[in-house]
Amino acid sequence: MGIFDTFRKGLQKTRDFVADGINRIAANMGFFDEDMLDDLEMLLVQADVGAACSIHLMSKVRQEIKATGDASRKNVISTLHREMLDVLGQAKPLAFEKGQLNILLMVGVNGTGKTTTAGKICARYRKQGFRILLGAADTFRAAAIEQLTHWGDRTDTPVIAHQEGSDPAAVVFDAIAAAKSRGVDLLILDTAGRLHNKANLMNELGKIRRIIQREAAAAKVETLLVIDATTGQNAVTQAKVFTEVAEVTSLAITKLDGNAKGGVALAVAHETHTPIALAGLGEKLDDLMDFDPQAFVESLLPIHQA
Amino acid sequence: MALFEGLSAKLQDITAKMRGKSRVTEQDIKEMMREIRLALLEADVNFTVVKELVAEISEKSKGVEVMESLTPGQQVVKIVHESLVDILGQTNSKLLVSPSGFTVIMLYGLQGAGKTTTAAKMALMLKKKGKKPMLTSVDVHRPAAARQLEILANSVDIPCYIQPEEKDAVKIARQAVDRARYLLCDTLIVDTAGRMTIDTEMMAELKAIGKVVNPTEKLLIVDAMIGQEAVNVALGFDKEIGLDGFIMTKLDGDARGGAALSIRKITGKPIKLICVGEKIDAIEEYYPDRMASRILGMGDVLSLIEKATANLDEKKAAEAFDKLKKNQFTLEDMLSQFEEVKKMGSIKDVLSMLPGMGNKAIPDEHIDEKAIDRSAAIIRSMTKKERHNPGILNASRRKRIAAGSGTTVQEVNRLIKQFEETQKMMKQFSGMMKGKGRMPNLGFGKRGFPF
C-alpha cells in the first residue's frame, strides 16, 4: 500500500467527519456566508485543531474571500487546504545514514507509545540493513525493559539494559559506549514517559541529552517527541516544553488511525514549527509511516470535495 | 499559550473596562461568552457541550445584579463555575460492592490511558481500606503488559494472576476468577488491553471477558489530556459495555481536563476516582469543585475571597489600622498579621488559588512555607520591650534572638529592616489619607512581604 493509501485508510473516519460537517454547514449551497464560516471554524476545533490554529486558518480564508470576492465552496475548501499545508510546512522525514553513528532519543509523556514506536522504527531500519542497538533508558515503568526486549527479540536487535530503578543516564552512557565499540549505525534510546510539568523528571531528560552531547559529539542525534493523536490542546504545551529541555528535532504523532481526529498535528505544527517526521496510522509494523503533509491534508480534506 | 492564559484573566480584562457599571450589558455578556467558549474549547471540553453550556451561562448572566463585593466579571465567573460544578458533581461516586461478597472491577480504556497503573493503585487503595483484592491482567496484546501489572502488584504485596504465554484473554479471565475465590479474595480487579472503540473485534473480546467475570463495576480509564474525542470514546465504551463510571488519570500534568466535563454531561455517569502521580498511592477521591476550577484555569478565586474574609479578624485588623494611623505600628502587630496570613492555609494553597497560577503549579523548591513561621519565631523571641521599641535591638540582643528563634542574625536583621520599611511606608500612607477609607495593605505590601 502506498503512502497516500495508508494515510487515506488511517484517516478515513476523520475524512468522513469533515465531509459530513461541511455538507451539513453548506448543505446544497455553493458558497459560504459569515455564519457558515463560523461553523467551519468550529468544525476544525472539533477535530482537535485547537482554537488558535482554527482561528488562524479561518482568518486566512476570510482574507482570501475579501481579496477575491469569491466565497464559493470551491475557493473556501481549496484555500483551507492550501493554508493547512502552509501550517504543516515541508515534509522532513528522519534521515539516518549507514556507516556513521546515529542516535534516536525517544521522549514524551506517559502512554503515547514511545516503546512501541521505538520497536517499529527499529524494525523499519533493520529492514534497510542498519546495524542497530536498543537502549532501555526507561528504568522507571514496571516491565518497560521487558517490553523493549520483546521488540529486540522480534527484530533480532541487541538491547542494552540495566536493572529496573537504576539511573537512566547510566544506561544511556553504557549504550553509547557499546554503540561506539560495536560500530552500530543507529542507537535507539527509549526513555520513561514523563509529564512535562515535572521539573525533576525533565531535568533528568536534560541530563541524558547532555550525556549524548558529551559522549557522542560526532553522532547525528535526533530527539523524537512522541505525541498521542488522541491528546487535546495539551499536546502544544508538551511540544514546547520538551523542545526547550530536550532539543526535540522531530515529532511522531501516534494512534492517528484510532479514535482521534488528528487535527492536533496542525495545532502542534502551528505553535511550534517542529517538523512532524512520523505518523502512526495503524498497529502493523508498516503502519508507521513518514509523515507526508500533502497526503495528510488530502486525507483530511479532499480537494475534490470542493 | 499566552493567547488563552486563563479564563479569569480574560474576564478580568473585560470587566476592567466596565468598572463602575452596576449592570452587565448585552454586549458585555456577548464578549464574555466568547471568552468562555474559547477557554472551554482550549480546555478540551467537547464542542457540543461547550455550545449548550455557554447558552445556559449566557441566560443566567443576563441582567445579573452586581453584588456589593464582587465585580461583574467575578459574578460571571461564579456563574460559570457553578454551572460546571453542577455538571461535574452530584451523583454518588463510591465504588460499587457486590452483595455476593465477591466484587469484580473491570477497567477499560484506549491504549496508554493508564489502566495498568490505575489497576495497581486501586488494589492498594482497597487493601488499605481492609479489603482483600487480587489483580489480573487479560492484556494479551501489549508485550510485557501482564509483567508490568505483576511487578506493581508484588511491590505492594497484592496477589496477581497472570498467564504471559496464554493468548486467550477469556481463558485467563476465567482462571483468575477461580484463583481469586480460592485465595478468598473479596475483590478482583481486571486490567484489560487498551483498545479503540472503533475496533469491533477488540470490543467483542471485552464482552466475552465480561460474560466470564461478571463485573460489578465497569470503569473507563480516561487520560486527562484527551481531546475532543473524549465523548465518542466514552459513548463508544458505554454503548458496547454499559459503564458504571470513570477514572481520570494523569491529573498531575497540566492539562485542563475538559474531558471530565464532556463525559459527565454526555453520559451522566459518575467520576469515581482521580490519579495524580506515578507513585502507586497517587489515587484520590474526586471533587467536582476542584475539577471545575482546573478546567477554567482560574484558580479558586472564590474560595480565596471566602477564605480571606472568613479568616481575617476584622477587629484585629481595625486595631492595627488604627495604630498605623497613629504611627504606633509595632512588631507585636506585625506578629499578629503573620498569624492572620497563616490562617488562610499554606502559601502553596493560597498561591494556587490566585488566577493564572492555578495549573502552572509553582515548583515546590520556590516556595518557602516556613518563612512566615521563622519570622514569627523571631518576633516571639523578643522581649515585650524590644517588640515595642525595636530601636534598642543592638548586636548582642540580635544574637540572642537569633539563637532563641533558631535563625541567623542575618535573618533577624532582614526582618527588622522589613519592619522599618513597612513602618516608613505606612507613615507616608497615613499622612496621605487622614483616617478615612479602606483597610490599607498592612504588612504585606511589596516590601513588607516576609517571603
B323, B312, B314: which is closest to B345 by C-alpha? B312
Q: Is pLDDT at A133 greater than 60 in this prediction?
A: yes
CB contact under 8 A, B143 and A195: no
A235, A103, A111: which is closest to A177 by C-alpha? A103
DSSP string for residues in B279-326: STT-EE---HHHHHHHHHT---HHHHHHHHHHHS-HHHHHHHHHHHHT
Q: Which residues in chain B touch residue A236, judged by CB atoms under 8 angstroms apart?
A: 1
User: Which pLDDT score is estimated for B304?
Assistant: 53
Question: In whole numbers, what is the pLDDT of chain A averaged over residues?
Answer: 93
From residue B420, give the alpha-carbon distance in Å to each of A24, A71, A306, B159: 70, 69, 73, 64
Domain ranges for chain A: 3-91, 102-290
Contact B108, B219 (CB under 8 A): yes
From residue A112, give the alpha-carbon distance in Å to each of A208, B31, B110: 20, 37, 11
User: Which pLDDT score is estimated for B325?
Assistant: 64
Amino acid letter for position B43: A
All domains of chain B in start order, with CATH: 2-88 (1.20.120.140), 103-296 (3.40.50.300), 301-432 (1.10.260.30)
Mean pLDDT for A146-167 is 95
In this complex, the residue of B1, B41, B113 whose CB is nearest that of residue A45 is: B41
In this complex, the residue of B110, B143, B363 whose CB is nearest that of residue A230 is: B110
Q: Distance between CA A42 and CA A55 in Å, rounded?
A: 9
Closest-CA residue of A relative to B44 is A232
A214, A198, A261, A209: which is closest to A233 by C-alpha? A261
User: Which pLDDT score is estimated for B449?
Assistant: 37
Q: Distance between CA A107 and CA A115 in Å, rounded?
A: 10
User: Which pLDDT score is estimated for B349?
Assistant: 59
Interface of B with A in 321-360 (CB under 8 A): 360
CB contact under 8 A, A261 and B41: no
DSSP reduced 3-state for A295: helix
User: Which pLDDT score is estimated for B432?
Assistant: 57
Q: Is pLDDT at A152 greater than 80 in this prediction?
A: yes
| Model pLDDT for residues A191-234, shown as the tens digit of each residue | 999 999 998 999 999 999 999 999 999 999 999 999 999 999 99
Q: Which secondary structure element, helix H or strand E, spans residue A191, and what is its range?
A: strand A186-191
Burial state string for A38-60 with b = 16 or more CB within 10 A and e = fewer than 16: ebbbbbbbbbbbbbbbbbbbbeb
Q: Distance between CA A261 and CA B120 in Å, rounded?
A: 31
From residue B375, give the alpha-carbon distance in Å to each of B336, B337, B381, B391, B401: 11, 11, 10, 18, 11
Mean pLDDT for A59-82 is 94
Interface test with A, best of B30, B278, B279 (most A CBs within 10 A): B278
CB contact under 8 A, B112 and A150: no
Q: What are residue B223's DSSP bridge partners?
A: B249
pLDDT above 90 covers what percent of chain A? 78
Domains A3-91 and A102-290 share a fold: no
C-alpha grid cell, residue B315: 477587629
Question: Cα A38 to chain center, whole Å?
Answer: 29
Q: Write the CB contacts of B376 (distance below 8 Å, at least 6 apart in sequence).
A: B335, B338, B339, B342
C-alpha grid cell, residue B285: 477521591
Q: Distance between CA A274 and CA A227 in Å, rounded?
A: 12
For chain A, say whether B361 makes contact (Cβ under 8 Å): yes
Q: Which secondary structure element, helix H or strand E, spans residue B432, and what is its range?
A: helix B409-432
Q: What are residue A250's DSSP bridge partners?
A: A224
Q: Which residues in chain A touch residue B259, judged by CB atoms under 8 angstroms apart?
A: 232
Q: Distance between CA B414 and CA B386 in Å, rounded?
A: 16
CB contact under 8 A, B111 and A258: yes
Tell me the CATH number for domain A3-91: 1.20.120.140
Interface of B with A in 196-255 (CB under 8 A): 196-198, 223, 225-230, 232-233, 236, 250, 252-255
In this complex, the residue of B151, B155, B227 whose CB is nearest that of residue A230 is: B227
User: Which pLDDT score is estimated for B82?
Assistant: 87
If chain B, 451 residues long, is cut into consecutive pieces of 10 residues, what is the mean pLDDT of each piece? 48 64 71 86 91 90 56 76 86 83 97 96 96 97 94 97 96 97 97 93 96 97 95 96 96 91 94 93 88 74 51 62 70 80 64 49 59 86 88 90 90 87 70 47 38 37
User: Which pLDDT score is estimated for B370?
Assistant: 76
Interface test with A, best of B35, B48, B223, B276 (most A CBs within 10 A): B223
Mean pLDDT for A103-132 is 96
Q: Are strands B133-137 and B187-191 parallel, antiparallel or unpaired?
A: parallel
CB contact under 8 A, B147 and A146: yes
Tell me the CATH number for domain A102-290: 3.40.50.300
C-alpha grid cell, residue A116: 512501541
CB contact under 8 A, B44 and A233: yes
Q: Which residues in chain A touch residue B110, judged by CB atoms under 8 angstroms apart?
A: 230, 255, 258-259
For chain A, say whether B112 makes contact (Cβ under 8 Å): yes
